Amino acid sequence: MNLETIIAAKRQALQQRKAKTPIDAVRALASMQRRPQPILNTVGEHVTLIGQVKHTVSRTGSLLETYDPVSMALRFMRGGVDAISLFTDATTYPRGLDDLTLVTRAVSVPAISQDYVLDEYHVVETRAAGASALVLSSDVLDKHALRTLVSATARNRMTSIVQVQNEDQLAYALSLSPHVIGLGSPDECNLDMNALKHLHALVPPSMHVMITCCLESLRDVELALKIGVDALIVSAMLFTNENTLNKLQGMLNRSTE
């Protein structure tokens, strides 16, 4: 799915929701949610493990597997993750916010929205859905919008993760003092170790860093840990059997020794 098509669809849906429900009404709903849980802004003693619930379809338009976001989230919980992330914007799937609400009600760990945030309204409704953190993409937001949304995220007491893919994006992101710098894309994962390591070296030690693409193999996890990131996102594929899960936990434990 073309990113421009997805963004255009999100903007259209946003205007419809704004016309139907004023932002003050969404703020009232957000105020009734439990307080956002601290997540990546408190890491340090261990690498934070985040399980990604992802809505994915095949080229024919059918689900690659039965998509049950709550079951996937609970599987991650049983595997001992520190947080759950949800990403549905690889397509123009319209129920991402509903799925986020279902997931946050089902789990006790913090939830991160990885869907593209374009407007303060998105921030507020994400908080109203129970999320504790969200990803702000430097690829889809101009500098003014990014600054505005980092501020809006802070006002809603959520953790802001600013995703960057090059030095220019990183330099501007650092000037905004977000909670976390995310390296890479939430959708396509290209583990260019040299590029990621270079960007990581430019981040001050006081700033936490995570890889925002979803790691799908133990080899990917091993490469990511060598960079020295504070958190990483993994696929449900690594939680399909106990042997793979034990190897994953062993790798994470060794990385903190």
Residues 6+ apart with CB under 8 A from 149: 117, 119, 120, 123, 136, 141, 160
CATH number at residue 184: 3.20.20.70
* Distance from C-alpha of 35 to C-alpha of 197, rounded to nearest angstrom: 34
Furthest C-alpha separation in the chain: 53
Q: What is the DSSP string of 31-69?
A: HTSPPPPP-GGG--SSPEEEEEEE--B-TTSSBSS---H
Residue 60 confidence (pLDDT) above 70: no
Of 15-19, 23-27, 136-140, 252-256, give the lowest mean pLDDT range.
252-256
On whether residue 40 sits in a domain, the answer given is: no
Range of the domain at 161: 3-35+46-255
On whether residue 41 sits in a domain, the answer given is: no
- Interval 141-157: pLDDT, tens: 999 999 999 999 999 99
Residue 44 confidence (pLDDT) above 80: no
* Distance from C-alpha of 76 to C-alpha of 51, rounded to nearest angstrom: 6
Q: What's the total number of domains in the chain?
A: 1
pLDDT of 80: 92
Residues 6+ apart with CB under 8 A from 75: 51, 236, 239
pLDDT of 150: 98
On whether residue 173 sits in a domain, the answer given is: yes
On whether residue 52 sits in a domain, the answer given is: yes
- Interval 169-193: pLDDT, tens: 999 999 999 999 999 876 666 667 7
pLDDT band at 93 (very low <50, low <70, confident <90, very high): confident
Determine the average pLDDT of the residues in 16-40: 93
pLDDT of 206: 86
* Distance from C-alpha of 145 to C-alpha of 21, rounded to nearest angstrom: 22
Of 10-14, 65-69, 147-151, give the lowest mean pLDDT range.
65-69
Determine the average pLDDT of the residues in 60-68: 62
Whole-angstrom Cα Rg for the chain:
17
pLDDT of 188: 65
Share of the chain above pLDDT 90, in %: 71
On whether residue 208 sits in a domain, the answer given is: yes
- Interval 111-134: pLDDT, tens: 999 999 999 999 999 999 999 999
Quickly list H helices, 156-217. 167-175, 193-201
Classify the phi-psi angles of 177: left when phi > 0, otherwise alpha if psi is within -120 to 50, otherwise beta: left
Instruction: Please give the model's pTM, rounded to 2 decimal places.
Output: 0.91
Classify the phi-psi angles of 164: left when phi > 0, otherwise alpha if psi is within -120 to 50, otherwise beta: beta
pLDDT band at 58 (very low <50, low <70, confident <90, very high): low
- Interval 203-229: pLDDT, tens: 998 899 999 989 989 999 998 898 889
Residue 99 confidence (pLDDT) above 70: yes
On whether residue 104 sits in a domain, the answer given is: yes
Determine the average pLDDT of the residues in 230-234: 93
Q: Which amino acid appears at position 170 of this protein? A: L
pLDDT of 65: 58
pLDDT of 190: 66
pLDDT band at 43 (very low <50, low <70, confident <90, very high): very low
